[in-house]
Structure formats: C-alpha cells, structure tokens
Structure 1
Amino acid sequence: MNDDVQQSGTTVMVVDDVPANRYALGAVLRRAGHHVVPVASAGEALIELDVRLRAGALPDAALVDVGLPDMSGFELCRRVKSRPSTAALPVVHFSATAVDARARCRGLDAGADAFLTVPAEPREIQAVVHAAVRRARRRTDAEALAHRLTLLSQAIVTVQTARCLGELADAAATGAARLTGTPAIVFVVGPDGEAHYGTSRSRLALPDRGRHQAAARLITRIADRRPGLHGTVVPASLWPTGLFHPGIQDDAHLVLASSRETRAQVCIATPARATPLRGAGNCATSHDAPADDRWHREALSVVERLAQATALAAEPLLMYQAERDIALTLQHSFLPQPHRLPDLPGVDLVVRYVPASRQTEIGGDFYAALPTGDGVLTAVGDVVGHSLDAATVMVELRHALRAYSVEESDPRALAERLDRMLLRYHPEVTATVCLALIDPGTGGVRIANAGHIPPVIVREGGQAEYVPVCGPLLGLELGRPEPVELVLHRKERLLMVTDGLIETRGVDLTTSMEQLRTAAAGAPAGLDALCDTLLDCFGHDREDDIAMLALRLG
C-alpha cells in the first residue's frame, strides 16, 4: 500500500486569519483527500486542539501562518511542541512575506517540521504536508514500538519472578493490559486440566468456579486443534458472559501458547473490538479506525511474545507444583494423623503438622510416637532441605526409627543408629532429631537431641523453660549426643517442635526461641490449647513446614 493511499482521510488544521487563504489552502488539501479544519487565530487553534485531544482525535498535521494577529505562528508552534499531548503533531509554517532565511530558522527553532512560501504550486503544498505527516507517523510508530518493547520487557521480568501459577497469571494479565490498553485476563491450564487465572482488574474476576472451568475447557479445545502459538477470535456466544465488563457480552481475542515440556496452555484474552486506551503506548495522532486496527494488530503481536514467555515461566512452576503435591502426599501418608495415633497407655498426646505456604517447598519435618517395652518414645525431626528428596528421606528416617525401636528404646542409642543409617545411604543429607523416652509410671524422661530445638517444659503457674540438651546433627559423624534425664510431673506438659514454627529470615533464632518460650508459658491449660495458641502466634504463611508434638502424663 503506497503512502498516498495510507494518508487519505487524514485531517489537516489550517490556521490563517485571512478567509481567502484558508479557503484556497483548504481546497488544495481536500483535493488530495485530506479533511480540513480551518481556524482563524492561534487562540482558536489551541482551543480546537484541546477539544480534539479530549475526543482522542488530534489532527494529523497543522498548516500555520507565521503572521497571525494574536500570536505569531512561531509562538503557536512552540506552545504546541512544548505540550507532551501535542508534541508529535507535525507543524508546517507558511508565509507570503516572511520568506527569508531568518524566518525559516525561527520556524525550525520553534519546532516546525517544514516551511512553505506562498503562493505555491498545489502539488508542492500537498507534497510538503504529505512528507510531514509521513515523517511524523514513522517517528510515532518507532516511539510506540519502543514503548511496547519496554512494556514487554518489564512484563516478562515480572512474569519470570512469579512464585506460583496465580501470581504468574496476574503478572501476565497486567502486562497484557498495559501492552494493549484494554482489559485482559490470563488462563494457565495445566496438563491435568486444572486452570489458574489472573486479571488486570479485580472486577474482571469470573463470577463462579463453574464459569472459570468452562472457559478453561473452551481454551483447551481450541489449543488442542492448533498447538503452538496462535491467535483466534472467540464469538461472544461461546464465551462466559461478562468476562471483560460485568453484564456485557464481548467477543474475545485469544493469544494461545503451549509449553513444550508440560504441555500446559497459556491463554491471554482481550476484547476483540476494544479501542486502545489513551496513554497505553499509542502515540499516533490519528485515531480513525484503520489506525486503531493497525495499532491493535501490532500490540497483539507483542502480546504473543508475552504469551510465549508466560508459557516458558509456567513450566518450572508446574513441575514444582507436581513435586510439591507428591511431597505433601508423602507427608500426609506417612505421618500418623491425630485420630490414628497408636494407643499410648499413661500418656495424653497431641500432634500437629502444617505444610509450608503455597509459594514454598515442602520439607522433611516429621513427628513420631511409639510404644516400647520401656515406655513411650516420641520424636520430632527435620531433614535439612526443601524438596521431594527431603520428604523421601523423612519417610526413611521414620521407618528406620520404628524398626530400631522394636529392640532398642534408649534415645541416645537410637540417635546413633539413625546417624549411621543416614551416613551410609544418604551421605549428602543432614537431619535434626530430638528423641524422648517417657516412663508413664514414674514420669521419668530421658532425652537425646541431635541438632534440634530442645523440648520445652510448660509448668503450672505460667512458667516454661527449655530442657538443656544438645548434640550434633545427624549425618555429620561428630559423635554421640549426651542425654538428659528429668521427671515430668502430672500437670506439666512436654512440647517438641520443629524450627519451621518460629524460624524467620533475618531474625536471630535465639530471639525466636525466647518468643516461643514466652508464648508457651502464657498458653491456656491443655494440650490442644497449647498447640493452637502457638500456631496462632507463629504459624501463618511460614516458609518451612511445622511439626509439633505435646504430651503430658495421663
């Protein structure tokens, strides 16, 4: 398509205080296919620009006489160019008297794009206006492209730092909305069909999960027919009602991308017939339909790059989620639930397990309560690390402890055996564990601690203290943990926890331990009340798992 065809329908504002001149110039421009807006003064020109700016329809060029009565054409040009909203408007000065080099230089210094000496041949006038519009469009197109690419790079950085699929969808939706200047919604559909979605505005949220899933199924059907990267328009009749505006049915333009490894589908949806919002990167001075269509096509091509980046970012998150689900399943499968704890005569026992927050990995925290010939053996431990491997080693440690406790109940000896097992089969892994053997008849307690937070004795009257017992981590072959013996009285409670309950990044562990001791001392009577109080104080949005065991003599 040549430039003449492209410029047909452009609007030119002619500023001249002489009616005959406005008429003559207007006739020449109309013959070239331009719309003409004649004004008689600089003041009227500024008012006309303000009105058209509010309507989103600035002219494509201004033809300005330098000898206006209220303000020189040079000053008018300077004011137009000094305003960001009109700076891209090309200005062509003309004059029949001020035609020397000094006048031309004044025009260029003011920001004018060209200078015409009138009278001039009609073809010259048309050519000068044509060239000014063409240069302005190329300049604004380049600026718009640079702006879109900047927005794209910012969106991709945000997408790549998302910690979960919900954050990923929200980041992609916000980025797509900024790229297109229209509302956007993003779906990330995993290989199992589970959908996560994010919107650029909170009011875009689909009204219920049923419609959410219906949209995901529609996306999956479309993506299955055309894998890879592609765009399509879904008629309003097929799309859930009110996706982009409450109560309004819109056609949707979908950009779909597939991840290679997980085969997940990423869909970025925007209204198919929406007009880009001013300030969203659209620097063009013409807002007629063809220009908007072209801008929207170019914006959508950048959205395709964002969809690809989102699909790539989804792969590790989906694989992490699958691993996290497996690890969590292992934890729930092998840690005995409170209602399935073994019968422990003479001891009341309460346990808690809280997985890490959704954005973090499952670790290797565990607890155990086992009857032995010498009393009740309890343990709380933590495999160092956060991964499926840590959860797997946790399972092995629990099984090994159960097996060893059949013939051996001494906490120190059991810690030594677990240490040897870890060194032989998992030499790269370390773990902590605290073991306590309680004699329900006498209240005697023997405790061995391998690198773990020591137990807390919660006494009557609002007192709590740590048992002074310590030792090296399992897996380091640093020697035997020295046991400690004490007597647990009837109304006293023994509390064992993993560091996930209190450990906070940037806070010294000693400080956190003192906060735990104070909270335990102030907790209401009862084992459930003790555990619930501590979880209320410390157990929200933790970056690590929490395992907790509390007991007293029955």
Structure 2
Amino acid sequence: MDVNGRLAGVTVLVVDDTAANRYAIGTVLRRAGHEVVAVTGGHEALSELDVRRRKGRLPDVALIDVHLPDMSGFELCRRVKERPHMAGLPVVHFSAALTVAPDDRCPGLDTGAEAFLTVPAEPADIEAAVRSAVRAARLRADDQALVRRLRLLAETIVTIQAARSPHELADAAADGAARLLGCPAAVFVLDQDDELYRGLCRERTSLVLPGEDADRTVRDLLRRLTRGQSGVRITTVPSPLWPAGFFRPGVQHDARLALVLTQDGKAPVCLAAPARGLRRVGPEGEALLAQLAQATALAAEPLLMYQVERHVALTLQHSFLPRPHRLPELPGVDIAVRYVPASQETEIGGDFYAALRVGDGVLAAVGDVVGHSLDAATVMVELRHALRAYCLTESDPAALAERLDQVLQHYHADVTATVCLALIDPATGRTRIANAGHIPPLVLGEDGSAEYVKTSGPLLGVGLPHPPPTELVLAPTDRLLMVTDGLIETRGTDLAVSMEHLRAAAGGALPGLEALCDTLLASFGHQREDDVALLALSLADGLQRRGRGLPG
C-alpha cells in the first residue's frame, strides 16, 4: 500500500460476457496500477483460477457480473468459495443499473461476496470497491495465519514439555520453530558443563550435519551473547560469524537468534532461523519465536537438573558397585558381572549386584530397589553395605533376606526392594537360594538346558516372613545366572513371556560366563527403560576340567 492508501500490485479477475464492460472496467483498473485478467464466463473463470492456483498465483480479487451466459454470477461465487484453496478470494458482484432487480444484492452476499457494484460506476467507486475487498481479505488472511501460528505454538509447547531429555527437547523445539516460521530452524541448549544439545528441524537432519568446529563457535557465541542477560533477546549474527550448514547444507546465512537463560540463569537457550526467513513473518512471527524460546528454557531447566542428578546417581552406583576387574578373589568359583544404566531418557534406578566370600563359601546377590531416582540409588548403596556387614556373622540366605527386610522397614518405611541371594559351596556345588520378590535364577546345563530355580518369597520392606532357602546342587559344568528385571521387562509385554525369551536366549548362548553375559546384553540390553544388572557364576573346577577336555 502506498502513502495515499492505494494497493499496489493487485491482480483483478474480471468476469463479464460483454466486451464493452470488460474494456471499461479493465481500463479503470489498469490506470489505477492493477493487473487485469478478463474472461467471458463462469466455466472459463473456474478454469483460469485452477491454472493460477497450481502456479501459486491466484488473483487478489474477482469482479463478477451477475448475469453470465453459462451460470449466474452468484453460482460462480458459490463454486469458488466451496474450493478450500480459493475460499479466501474476495468477490465483488456487479450488474448494469437497468437490469438490477431489488433482490439481486442479497443472493450475492449470501454466497460469500464482499460487495455489489452497479455499473456504469465512477472510476473512484470501482477502485474503492476493489481496495476494500482486497484489504478485508488480507486482514482475514493475516488473522488466520496468526491463529494458525498460535495453534502451532501451543502444540509445540505441549511437545517440548513432554520431552524426556535435552536432546529430545531441542529436536522438538526446532521442529516447532520451523513449522511456526515456515523456514529452517535450529535450537541449542548449553548446560553448565559446556555440553551443547542441538536440535535441527527434520528436513535438515536427513542431510550432512555441521561438525564440532561449528558447535564450538555456537558455544562461544551463546556464552558471549547471554552474559548478564535477562529476559529474551533477539539479535542478528551476520553470516561470516555464524557457522554454515545449520539451516541448509554448506550455505551461510545471517542468523536471527532468540536468546534466553533458564530461570536459574545458568543455561543459555537459543532458537535460530535464517534472518531472511524471519523477515517474511514480520514482528508477530518474532514475538511468537520469543515465546517459544521462553517455553523451551522453562522446559529445559528441570531436564538439565535431572541430568545433574542422573550423573550423581551414576557416580554413586559406579563407586559402590565393584568393576569386574576389582571383584574379590572367590576360591572355587568363576564369576562374570555386568551393569548397564538405563537409557539417557530414563531415570536412574537402584539395581545392584554383590559377590562376597562367606567362610568357605561364596554369597552371590542381585537386587533392585523399587523406584527410579537418586533416592533409589542411595537406598541401593545402604542395602549393599548392610548385606556386606550382616554376612560377616550370618550366611543363611533366608536369614539375610529377613535382616535386609528389617533395614528397609526401620529406615525407609515407604521403600520396597527385591533381591535374590545364593550361597554356594564350591567344594560340593551345594547351593542355597533365597528369593525376595525377584526374578528367580536360571541354571544352564552343558547340554543347552535352561531352567528357572523354583524359589520365591515376599518383597523386602513389606514385613512378611521369608521361607527357608531352596536347595540344589550345581554340577561342575552348570552356570548360574541372576539378573534384574530391567534386562527383559518391556512395557506392554507380560513378564512371563519375557522370562521365557530370556530362558531361550540363555540356553542358546555360547559356553563361558563372559559369552553368556555378552549374548544377553546384545539380545535385550538396548535402550532399556531400567537399569540392568547381571551376575553369572560357575564352579571353577568344572570350567578347568572342561577346558582340559576332562569329564565334569
């Protein structure tokens, strides 16, 4: 629109079967600076509109004669408005003064027309009718675009609030920003340890990604640009300073950034888009981008805090669970252990294992504190230390389960746990097993057989009596396998089915304890929602005999 309020670059479709009318109206409109497309009837008009729609060049307004030879102007208007991609096209009906019936105006307005002209008309009246119709249509289109963007903003905020990790959050925010702005977008979250979580919109992530040098540049920019900042800051970084490839592979762009700190002021969050793309959406688009940046920062803070807690919990677990090369000497028994923390998107749990020398025997244990948090990891450490202390004076597995149950009831009344305890006499193979709500151990024979030990008992922490231990004798070539449910438990799958899958996989594993653990982790241990602990053991004499080719 120019300084006189006139619209520039408007394309007008004129539909009239009278050549003189087409010429007169076309002349008036062209003199006003408009482009005119003239057709003679309704079908020709619909065909012209279809062609222009496919090219993305619909006219800005249609002037339609009420009396057309193949259909009425009202019918043509109705057909146009019924087409989803043309419904926003403004229509002005016109008719010669001598043929205007008293009821001619109402049907046109009822079919969706914006105005009615009586011709001949003054050029100013024709131009005013066109200007009014186009202006109203553009305002409606702007309102609809804003409503659409607000809906997209709301949908994106819901998605980012459901994110389970900073990586997932950044990806969701980048996708939402790209849909909101109609151009590529990237999102960056920088935590206190200088780890950069970046998300790129889906169209972009299928291509070659920027490397570590680009990430390093972004880290430096975020630290510098957000130093001492409060609120949201929108700024432009020229292309020589912004790494190429975040928006399009290998292409440099001026970047428009929306920067904000998390509420604790410790982590910068950045939503970035090409400056050229943002110019198309104008100030309202930038305002929505600022709101999305704030929502992303709010969602990022608890996820980053969780990352810190998860790191503490993992450090705690790794500190108190002995690594395989640091297991104590256990005469007469060979042992292999594995511990795998839950996937990054899942809270840390309270899984543990222990292998302890008890007199002339060996006590093996695998347990799991119910729950997922730093608290669960802390209780795990307490239970493991309690077990180490009690087994100095008590070796009976059922009695040890009773004492651990009392520890939970006394110090953590709202916590429960499962544990399986196995006391093995290496000299005879005699094994006594107490099971407190845990998956029972598997005994694997040299012939490929695999059977669960029939042993059960109540959870720790519920105060119910524990039954006497289950007794069996391990053959020199047998392997005893104890696992936590995190290895096999899958949401929506019955645990009994998962246990059968475990039995089949263990029975088909290669000989040896390490091979058994590796096979099971390869089969079940990918992206688990819970921690995984495994302990496998066999009598050392049996392994030595088998290695020499001697009978077991």
Q: Tell whether the structures are fold-level matches, with TM greater than 0.5.
A: yes
Residue aligned with 1:309, SS: helix
Instruction: Using the TM superposition, name which of 493-502 and 10-19 deviates more.
Output: 10-19
Give percent identity, aligned residues only.
63
Instruction: Using the TM superposition, name which of 68-77 and 378-387 deviates more.
Output: 68-77
Residue aligned with 2:179, SS: helix
Distance 2:12 2:192 in 1: 55
Per-residue deviation, 1:110? 3.9
Distance 1:114 1:260 in 2: 53
- 2:213 is matched with which residue: 199, 210, 213? 210
**Which amino acid is 1:439 matched to?**
D
Q: Any gaps of 5 or more consecutive residues in structure 1?
A: 276-291
Residue aligned with 1:154, SS: helix
Q: Which residue of 2 aligns with 1:189?
A: 190
Q: Which residue of 2 aligns with 1:115?
A: 116
Distance 2:264 2:323 in 1: 36
Are positions 1:323 and 2:309 aligned together? yes
Instruction: Using the TM superposition, name which of 314-323 and 76-85 deviates more.
Output: 76-85
- 1:476 is matched with which residue: 442, 462, 475? 462
Q: Which residue of 1 aligns with 2:549?
A: none
Distance 1:444 1:249 in 2: 72
Distance 2:112 2:495 in 1: 65
RMSD of aligned C-alpha atoms? 2.5
Q: Which residue of 1 aligns with 2:550?
A: none
Normalising by structure 1, report the TM-score.
0.89
Distance 1:328 1:526 in 2: 29
Q: Any gaps of 5 or more consecutive residues in structure 2?
A: 541-552
Per-residue deviation, 1:369? 0.9
Alpha-carbon distance change, 480 to 38 in structure 1, aligned in 2, over 3 angstroms: closer
Alpha-carbon distance change, 94 to 87 in structure 1, aligned in 2, over 3 angstroms: same
Distance 1:475 1:39 in 2: 86
Per-residue deviation, 1:478? 1.3
Are positions 1:403 and 2:402 aligned together? no
**Which amino acid is 2:80 matched to?**
V
Distance 1:262 1:389 in 2: 27
Match runs of 1:141-156 below 5 Å = 141-156=142-157
Residue aligned with 2:451, SS: strand
Residue aligned with 2:371, SS: strand
Match runs of 1:429-448 below 5 Å = 429-448=415-434
Match runs of 1:77-96 below 5 Å = 77-96=77-96
Distance 1:452 1:399 in 2: 19
Alpha-carbon distance change, 400 to 498 in structure 1, aligned in 2, over 3 angstroms: same
Instruction: Using the TM superposition, name which of 510-519 and 355-364 deviates more.
Output: 510-519
**Which amino acid is 1:90 matched to?**
P
**Which amino acid is 2:267 matched to?**
A
Q: Which residue of 1 aligns with 2:103?
A: 102
Say whether the 8 Å CA contact 1:381–1:432 is kept in structure 2: yes
Say whether the 8 Å CA contact 1:18–1:40 is kept in structure 2: no
Q: Which residue of 2 aligns with 1:544?
A: 530
Distance 1:391 1:171 in 2: 30
Match runs of 1:153-168 below 5 Å = 153-168=154-169
Residue aligned with 1:107, SS: helix
- 1:367 is matched with which residue: 353, 364, 369? 353
Say whether the 8 Å CA contact 1:41–1:70 is kept in structure 2: no
**Which amino acid is 2:373 matched to?**
S
Residue aligned with 1:159, SS: helix
Distance 2:126 2:228 in 1: 54
**Which amino acid is 1:384 matched to?**
V
Alpha-carbon distance change, 402 to 442 in structure 1, aligned in 2, over 3 angstroms: same
Per-residue deviation, 1:393? 0.9
Matched residue count:
536
Are positions 1:229 and 2:228 aligned together? no
Q: Which residue of 2 aligns with 1:39?
A: 38
Say whether the 8 Å CA contact 1:458–1:464 is kept in structure 2: yes
Say whether the 8 Å CA contact 1:470–1:482 is kept in structure 2: no
Residue aligned with 2:394, SS: coil
Deviations 1:269-323 (CA, angstroms, capped at 9, x unpaired): 2211138xxxxxxxxxxxxxxxx74x44322322222222222221222122221
- 2:451 is matched with which residue: 456, 465, 475? 465
Residue aligned with 1:435, SS: strand
Say whether the 8 Å CA contact 2:351–2:484 is kept in structure 1: yes
Deviations 1:321-367 (CA, angstroms, capped at 9, x unpaired): 22112111111111111111111111111001111122211111100
Residue aligned with 1:173, SS: helix
Per-residue deviation, 1:8? 4.2
Q: Which residue of 2 aligns with 1:499?
A: 485
Q: Which residue of 2 aligns with 1:524?
A: 510
Per-residue deviation, 1:23? 4.9
Residue aligned with 1:437, SS: strand
**Which amino acid is 1:541 matched to?**
Q
Residue aligned with 2:468, SS: coil
Distance 2:76 2:131 in 1: 21
Say whether the 8 Å CA contact 1:243–1:250 is kept in structure 2: no
Per-residue deviation, 1:515? 2.6
Instruction: Using the TM superposition, name which of 375-384 and 148-157 deviates more.
Output: 148-157
